[in-house]
Amino acid sequence: MAEVVKELTRKEQEIRELIRAEMPWEPVGPTPMPGIADLRSWDMRLLKTYKPWYAPFCDLCCLCTYGKCDLSQGRRGACGLDIATQQARMILLTCLMGCSAHAAHGGHILEHLIEKYGADKKIDMGTYIELEAPNIRAVTGLKPETLGDLKTVIEYVYKEITHLLDSTHFGQEGSYLDYESKALHASMLDHVGMEVADIAQIAGFDFPTSVADTPLVDMGWASVDESKPVILLVGHNPATSTTIIDYLRENDLYDKVEVAGICCIALETTRYSDRAKIVGPLSRQLFYVRTGIADVIVTDEQCIRTDMLIEGDKVDSRVIATLDKAMYGLEDVTEKDTDEIVKRMVEDKKHFAILNTKKAAEVAAKVALQVAPQRRKRWITEEEAIELAKKCTNCGMCERVCPNLFGIGDGIVQVAKRNFDLIKEQFNQCIGCGKCEQECPNKVPIFKIMQVAASKETWKIRAGRGAVMDTEIRNVGAPITLGTIPGVLAFVGCSNYPDIDDVADMVYEFARRKYIVMLTGCAAMVAGMKKFENGKTVYELFPPEFDAGGVLNVGSCVSNAHISGAAIKIANIFAALPLRANYEVMADYVLNRVGACGIAWGAMSQKAASIGTGFNRLGIPVLLGPHSSKYRRLYLSRKEEDDWTVMDARKREIVDSGEPSPEHIAYVCETKEKAMVMIPKLCIRKNDTPQGRSIKLNHYISLYKKYMGGGLPEDVQLFIRRDADIPLVYKKEVRVYLKEIDWQPKEPVGLPTLIGTYPTKVPLEAVIH
């Protein structure tokens, strides 16, 4: 027993040294660098109300050679696992994939920058950001000052990933709730890893920080000047893309070469140079690559098509793989002579792996300049498309394999009849997987035909601005927590949406209603790919500040840490709650008092799963598009049955609020219209003032009337505490309804918190400000 105590003390001491516990910026809270079990009781409290909802893909487990095991109808596998626990294990694996992708991204960027500047390079987030790393400070207890400090943090994340992955091995964890707790842990760490990555990028690449009004940059394939050599970037990691721009600048070539990107790397690169172009989101990757406009394709990591070499070969684009995570079986020529590499790529049409950023940049530029003059690729004409479309017999095979469940054959047949209306509509629904073309028995070149459907419009998007400024938090902390700014919405994730216009429509609707709208990744791009009044995108129509009605492009996937960071900043800067190693206090505050909601309408990847689950642990509900039921797990409550008990910290009494706010924390909506109704509801919080609640209910009721055929929401009574909560414009109608159902007023909860309702090391005093 004595030995155990000694071991724990040594472990604690190690952590205290790593986080420089003696530094007096704030006392160290209860969970510095938490391990798997340290925040478990918080997770269990969350999962008590928001129970996991599992939708298994299949009846089986096939992860070991004792199987396959049938887990249906109460059966257990050879290891004893049941179907719920198997789903939770898969979710943990999914979140670990996402978390490790961002952490490894951060780790690589750190290595790159430490090599360049040294570990002592200071982190400077600009004049208006003193709280530089809210996730890192809340989770680890370390206040990072240098790139070397960030390395300490990322090594902690790596260590935790190993322990978590270990638990998925045969014969270990046997509880679905504990697997969920581990998934929540992995996903919290994801936000730490993302924060490391983006702080390093801001410090090392001089990305915008402490500024809202970043430049408006060009987006859309038509923004790429095809008359110039084109270098196309695909992926996420800007180590090489920024070096390419440096090389072009240093050699006076930047006017002569187009640098364009797809997916997050496009967002990262426009943070470095506003002359770079954004082709579009992930869903446009295959489509654009197949146009053959790119002379050189430079890949880095995450969300790159794995058949890039095959696709490059089809159109004579040369591919350079620049990171060891995705080398495609290519010859590694990092140590070879640059001119020799260029010669082989130009003359022999070779693709190579080059893991040195400077060499990769030089080769990309030289090859693009030499290959472009021979490029004979162009967009096809309508007449050519009509001829190609005549091969289609509309057999329906394309529809059968379409993940977005539509029949492109109907559109192709219309093209053959010289009608392009349907295919233009379908192009907006296309998620760009290419399965239709692969399945076509008549070899109809569907993606080529789609070139006539693709809009040649260009759009403006604001370059990613990075973190929300402390000064902005001070200005809006009160209206957000009181409810008079009706909510903070974060549109995040990939481009697996039912329709490309959905995100822009939602952003427009809620920005007009004075919600604060933050965006990252592919969602940030598609929000800008629709023009509203006066031909303007949401980035031109709405201000870029973190304030009512603001529309903020925060940046790429790793910039999601600035969204969770903003919520933590509200708790620390506005509410003055203790931050250092006090994750539970932050999460409790956000869940109960910050009306924030994530919307991952097109979530597809494992990274999106961990980003969303990380928001969930911090108490932020996430609304997902219909495809996301394929993640297999949601966190849902049952509003009239579940436990809505909270501690009223002001009275120090446990009270049954009876109010399901937020109602769910991971929720799938079937249609955009329903999402429009759910979003305002998910922004309701127990501490709303009567004025704030009335504003929030006004949006809930008006959007319900707009999309659900009139009437009042069936559950509106659950969110009305007193008559003063009822929006003025609906007062009469709501009062009649409340009378009909014999509604009784209830006392609002003064200072709602879950602390004190479950076993925790956090004292109640910690959440009283």
Partner 1 sequence: MAVVPFHRVNVLTGIKASRIIEDPVQCADLILKARRPLLVLGAKLTEWSVDGKLALEYALDIARAARIPACGTAHVKGKMVELGVSPDSAYDAVEIVNALKDPDWRGVKKEGNHDLVIFLGVRSDLEEQCLSVLKHFAYKHLRTMTLDKYYFPHANYSLPNFKKDERWGRFLEELIENLRKER
Give dist(CA 271, CA 266) in Å, integer: 9
**Contact assessment for residue 160 and residue 15, using Cβ atoms and an 8 Å cutoff:** no
CB of 98 to partner 1, least distance (A): 20
543 binds partner 1 (CB under 8 A): no
Give dist(CA 257, CA 247) in Å, integer: 11
Nearest residue (CB) to partner 1, 585 versus 678: 678
Indicate which single residue of 267, 341, 461, 669 sits in contact with partner 1 (rule: CB under 8 A): 669
401 binds partner 1 (CB under 8 A): yes
Indicate which single residue of 441, 535, 710, 759 sits in contact with partner 1 (rule: CB under 8 A): 710
- Please give the DSSP secondary-structure letter assigned to residue 523: H
Give dist(CA 421, CA 425) in Å, integer: 7
626 binds partner 1 (CB under 8 A): yes
Q: Which amino acid is at 760?
A: T
Indicate which single residue of 159, 314, 638, 732 sits in contact with partner 1 (rule: CB under 8 A): 638
Indicate which single residue of 171, 174, 711, 763 sits in contact with partner 1 (rule: CB under 8 A): 711
24-to-67, 96, 127, 137, 767 alpha-carbon distances in Å: 55, 34, 22, 13, 21
Sheet order of strands, 633-636 included: 51-54, 633-636, 666-668, 622-624, 596-600, 488-491, 516-520, 551-555
541 binds partner 1 (CB under 8 A): no
Nearest residue (CB) to partner 1, 226 versus 673: 673
By rule CB under 8 A, what count of residues binds partner 1? Answer: 44
End-to-end CA distance of the chain: 39
Give dist(CA 638, CA 652) in Å, integer: 26
Nearest residue (CB) to partner 1, 61 versus 129: 61
CB of 97 to partner 1, least distance (A): 20
Give dist(CA 520, CA 464) in Å, integer: 8
708 binds partner 1 (CB under 8 A): yes
In angstroms and rounded to an integer, the radius of gyration of the C-alpha atoms of the chain is 26
Q: Angle 560-569/470-482 helices, nearest 10 degrees? A: 70
433 binds partner 1 (CB under 8 A): no
Indicate which single residue of 347, 348, 714, 740 sits in contact with partner 1 (rule: CB under 8 A): 714
**Could you give the 3-state DSSP secondary structure of residue 78?**
coil
698-to-138, 653, 728, 749 alpha-carbon distances in Å: 35, 30, 8, 21
**Contact assessment for residue 619 and residue 588, using Cβ atoms and an 8 Å cutoff:** yes
169 binds partner 1 (CB under 8 A): no
Pair of tokens at residue 639: 């509003």
CB of 666 to partner 1, least distance (A): 10
Binding part of the chain for partner 1, among 363-371, 552-560, 610-618, 633-641 by CB under 8 A, reads: 633-641
Binding part of the chain for partner 1, among 191-199, 205-213, 379-387, 705-713 by CB under 8 A, reads: 705-713
Binding part of the chain for partner 1, among 215-223, 335-343, 587-595, 708-716 by CB under 8 A, reads: 708-716
CB of 86 to partner 1, least distance (A): 10
Binding mask 61-90 for partner 1 (x = CB under 8 A): ---------xxxx---------xx------
Indicate which single residue of 636, 682, 683, 684 sits in contact with partner 1 (rule: CB under 8 A): 636
Give dist(CA 323, CA 108) in Å, integer: 9
699 CB contacts (<8 Å, ≥6 apart)?
A: 486, 513, 680
CB of 56 to partner 1, least distance (A): 5
400 binds partner 1 (CB under 8 A): yes
591 binds partner 1 (CB under 8 A): no
Nearest residue (CB) to partner 1, 69 versus 200: 69
Nearest residue (CB) to partner 1, 87 versus 273: 87
54 binds partner 1 (CB under 8 A): yes
Indicate which single residue of 319, 519, 634, 683 sits in contact with partner 1 (rule: CB under 8 A): 634
**Contact assessment for residue 46 and residue 55, using Cβ atoms and an 8 Å cutoff:** no
Give dist(CA 386, CA 431) in Å, integer: 23
Q: Are strands 459-462 and 633-636 parallel, antiparallel or unpaired?
A: unpaired
673 binds partner 1 (CB under 8 A): yes
Q: Is the dihedral of CA 159, 162, 165, 167 positive or negative?
A: negative
Indicate which single residue of 7, 59, 250, 656 sits in contact with partner 1 (rule: CB under 8 A): 59
User: What residue ranges bind partner 1 (CB under 8 A)?
Assistant: 53-60, 70-73, 83-84, 399-403, 405, 626-627, 629-630, 632, 634, 636, 638, 641, 667-671, 673-674, 677-678, 707-711, 714
